[in-house]
Amino acid sequence: MTFQKNILITGGAGFIGSHLIRLMVNKYPEYRIINLDALTYAGNLENLTDVENKPNYTFEKVDITKMDQVKAVFEKYDVDSVIHLAAESHVDRSITNPMEFVETNVIGTVVLLNVAKNYWKDFAGKLFYHVSTDEVYGTLGATGLFKETTSYDPRSPYSASKASSDHFVRAYFHTYDMPIVISNCSNNYGPYQFPEKLLPLFINNIKHNKALPVYGDGKYTRDWLWVEDHASAIDVIFHKGVSGETYNIGGNNEWTNIDLIYLLCEIMDDELGRPKGTSKELITFVKDRPGHDKRYAIDASKLKNELGWEPSVKFPEGLIKTAKWYLNHVDWMENVTSGAYQAYYKKQYDA
Ligand code: NAD
Ligand code: DAU
């Protein structure tokens, strides 16, 4: 079967990657979607069971830091486009183990860029799309928004590694004329997020009557975006974005952590049929995250004005949908928290 495009999506077994794969596989049967993922603790092929047998989907268990393996995938599928999401993504883990973040996020990105450059040679019809984060811009005070022109000022090993990877992607554009786009997105939420991140962790803890560890005073602000809206923005930028450009993606939905947690607690009381105020009792203020960025907020007007994208799901609707999804997917959560998901796929792919 010949496909119009052979698109390599890295990190497709993770949270955002799995939503992007689902969107692309279903919306574009004329494209072959190759999911390249190392299946680290954050990769879970159970996120993709609904598309795993589609004729335009294929999976390769490969580590992006392994040049020969990445090259073999380019050759096997004649890859013409890359959408690169594979990364170590959790700030707290980057504080305890920064080297893993340098290896995957910096070296892994440069390996991909290099393989793409050498394999493509002629860049006509090619694109390297790098998915990045708003955290590269550092932290905001009470006012102001991150624009595409905001100077980089990363504060955590995670954001420093993402900033470094963004710089390398731009360097390949300027030095070698490689066609690239970069998007920098705010906090995503929704189904299939690993329960180390705030919302799935707290939903699961509330369900099991466990403490909700709020870092510091909880007065840290994030801009929350429904994950399928991020996937749709990537689709728009992939097809309509201008090479060499950066696009900020955000939800226009700023919440302090503590207000978000209060809202979540109310929703969870309703969903679990518990008396109002029950979940709130679980809130426990704990030691702050070192270098904790005070506020992130995105100006996504470039994406709206130039490419016509806007978020579609708002609060509280999106938060209610999220709470219901985790409560209704008990097996998914149990497989992840017990580690069973890893044992199963390890056996299947390492055989
Ligand atoms: P995630 O941690 O859920 O998934 C990461 C995926 O990458 C996993 O499937 C993992 O197995 C894979 N991976 C890790 N190391 C790899 C390696 N060496 N080789 C191949 N695969 C590897 O992450 P996510 O939250 O879905 O984030 C995806 C991307 O989006 C990341 O680049 C992240 O920086 C960016 N981003 C995330 C958010 C967010 O709110 N989660 C917001 C903006 C940008
Ligand atoms: O802004 C985009 C970024 O959003 C992405 O690039 C990252 O990959 C993603 O992990 C996310 O980073 P955050 O650090 O903002 O997300 P996290 O869910 O870890 O934390 C959200 C906020 O909640 C943050 O201010 C820290 C706080 N927090 C988090 C946890 C896990 C707590 O107070 N308690 C917790 O237990």
What's 105's domain CATH number? 3.40.50.720
Q: Does residue 206 fall inside a structural domain?
A: no
Per-residue confidence (pLDDT) for residue 26, from 0 to 100: 98
Nearest ligand to the C-alpha of residue 139? 2
Whole-angstrom distance, CA of residue 161 vs CA of residue 94: 9
Per-residue confidence (pLDDT) for residue 20, from 0 to 100: 98
Q: Domain residues for 131?
A: 5-190+225-252+291-314
Per-residue confidence (pLDDT) for residue 343, from 0 to 100: 76
Residues at CB less than 6 angstroms from ligand 2: 89-91, 133-135, 186-187, 197-198, 201, 213-215, 220, 222, 257, 289, 296
83 lines ligand 1 (CB under 6 A): no
Q: Does residue 344 fall inside a structural domain?
A: no
Q: Quick count: other Cβ atoms within 10 Å of Cβ 281?
A: 11
* Confidence (pTM): 0.98
Q: Does residue 346 fall inside a structural domain?
A: no
Q: Does residue 148 fall inside a structural domain?
A: yes
Q: Does residue 75 fall inside a structural domain?
A: yes
Q: Does residue 259 fall inside a structural domain?
A: no
Whole-angstrom distance, CA of residue 284 vs CA of residue 212: 6
Task: Tokens for 154, please give them.
Answer: 């990363």
Residue 30 among the catalytic residues: no
Q: Does residue 299 fall inside a structural domain?
A: yes
Question: Which residues have C-beta within 8 Å of that of residue 285, sequence separation ≥ 6?
Answer: 214, 216, 217, 218
Provide φ and ψ at 35, rounded to 5°.
Answer: -90, 110
231 lines ligand 1 (CB under 6 A): no
Residue 215 Cα: closest atom of ligand 2? 33
Per-residue confidence (pLDDT) for residue 347, from 0 to 100: 67
Distance from Cα 71 to the centre of ligand 2, integer Å? 34
Whole-angstrom distance, CA of residue 116 vs CA of residue 73: 11
47 lines ligand 1 (CB under 6 A): no
Question: Which residues have C-beta within 8 Å of that of residue 25, sequence separation ≥ 6?
Answer: 33, 51, 54, 56, 57
Q: Does residue 94 fall inside a structural domain?
A: yes
Whole-angstrom distance, CA of residue 335 vs CA of residue 342: 8
Residue 135 among the catalytic residues: yes
Closest C-alpha to ligand 2, atom 25: 220
The number of folded domains in the chain is 1
Task: Tokens for 261, please give them.
Answer: 């947690």
Closest C-alpha to ligand 1, atom 4: 14
Per-residue confidence (pLDDT) for residue 351, from 0 to 100: 53
The catalytic residue among 37, 134, 229, 293 is: 134
Q: What is the pLDDT along the chain (351 residues), one digit of tens a residue?
A: 799 999 999 999 999 999 999 999 999 999 999 999 999 999 999 999 999 999 999 999 999 999 999 999 999 999 999 999 999 999 999 999 999 999 999 999 999 999 999 999 999 999 999 999 999 999 999 999 999 999 999 999 999 999 999 999 999 999 999 999 999 999 999 999 999 999 999 999 999 999 999 999 999 999 999 999 999 999 999 999 999 999 999 999 999 999 999 999 999 999 999 999 999 999 999 999 999 999 999 999 999 999 999 999 999 999 999 999 999 999 999 999 998 888 767 667 765
Residue 216 Cα: closest atom of ligand 2? 33
Per-residue confidence (pLDDT) for residue 341, from 0 to 100: 85
194 lines ligand 1 (CB under 6 A): yes
